[in-house]
Amino acid sequence: MKAALSLKRLLSVIESEKPVGLEDKALSDWSTKNEDAVSYVKLSVSDEQALHYANEDNAKTLWKKIKSNFIGQAEDRKIDAGNELRNLRLCEKEEISGNIARARGLATKCASLGLDVTERELAFYVVRGLTGKYTKIREILKTQREKSIDNLLETLREEETLQNNIGMPTEVSNPDLAFTAVRRQRQKRVCYFCRKPNHVMKDCFIRKRIEAQKKPRFYNSSRKK
């Protein structure tokens, strides 16, 4: 509404009081702007809402009343949008691209309500909301906070493809061609754990070594010293 009033050069009458000492043409010009602004504002609300302001003919006072009535609702919507983004979760059978598109939509909604969301925050909420088969990659991505949302999408799409291929039939008519195809595919990949080429995360020896080091070692108390 403010943008529309600004375009019509009427913003001044809802932001400032009526100037003192206006006469003749100056008074006529201000009165015309005031009436136009009142009309634009009243036409922008529903008929039921307009009834509450039917007797108000001062643009600044009218704007102040509308703002006081609706500011509480706007704050509630801002809180709801922020909570919705913070509670973002990957739904069952939801594709990664759809999940990130939903996250971006919520960030846009927050911004429209005056709640800015940085790209780092958005990536944080997306990673935290990963569930199910993405639990392991979620823990790895928590240590890679510098990833942009686009890089995150690329990484998760790769994981999605890998997860979707698990359990697929391995019998083929020509095993040699299948081996060549897999080898070429792996040569194009970069492990997003160690960032080295020619293998994927599930085959990463660095990841396996770190996970092995984290496992508790049990001391055999019966062994003689």
Written as tens digits, the pLDDT of the chain (225 aa) is: 888 888 889 988 988 888 888 888 888 999 999 999 999 888 888 888 888 888 899 999 999 888 877 776 777 888 888 999 999 999 888 899 999 999 999 999 888 888 889 988 999 999 999 988 888 888 888 888 788 888 888 888 888 888 777 654 444 444 444 444 445 544 456 676 676 777 767 778 777 777 777 666 554 544 544
Q: How many domains does the chain have?
A: 2
> Which residue stretches of 113-204 are H helix?
119-128, 135-141, 149-165, 175-188
Looking at the domain assignment, is residue 172 inside a domain? no
Give the burial string for 80-99 (b: 16+ CB within 10 Å, else e).
Answer: ebbeebeebebeeeeebeeb
Q: In a 3-state reduction of DSSP, which class is residue 56?
A: coil
Looking at the domain assignment, is residue 137 inside a domain? yes
On whether both 41 and 100 belong to a single domain, the answer is no
pLDDT for residue 204: 80
Rounded Cα–Cα distance for residues 14 and 133 (Å): 55
Q: Last residue of some domain: 27, 46, 73?
A: 73
Rounded Cα–Cα distance for residues 125 and 89 (Å): 8
Structure tokens at 16: 């400032």
Q: In a 3-state reduction of DSSP, which class is residue 16?
A: coil
Domain that holds residue 102: 88-165
Q: Last residue of some domain: 132, 147, 165?
A: 165
Residues in the chain: 225
CA trace torsion 13, 18, 21, 26 (10° rounding): 20
Cβ atoms 188, 194 nearer than 8 A: no
Q: At what angle do helices 59-86 and 24-44 cross, to 10 degrees?
A: 40
CA trace torsion 191, 195, 197, 199 (10° rounding): -20
Q: What angle do CA 43, 49, 10 make, to 5 degrees?
A: 35
Containing 132, the helix (H) or strand (E) segment is none
Q: Last residue of some domain: 43, 73, 103?
A: 73
Rounded Cα–Cα distance for residues 225 and 221 (Å): 9
Looking at the domain assignment, is residue 214 inside a domain? no
pLDDT for residue 188: 53
Q: Which candidate, 113, 115, 163, 114, places its Cα nearest to that of 138?
A: 163
pTM of the model: 0.48
Looking at the domain assignment, is residue 191 inside a domain? no
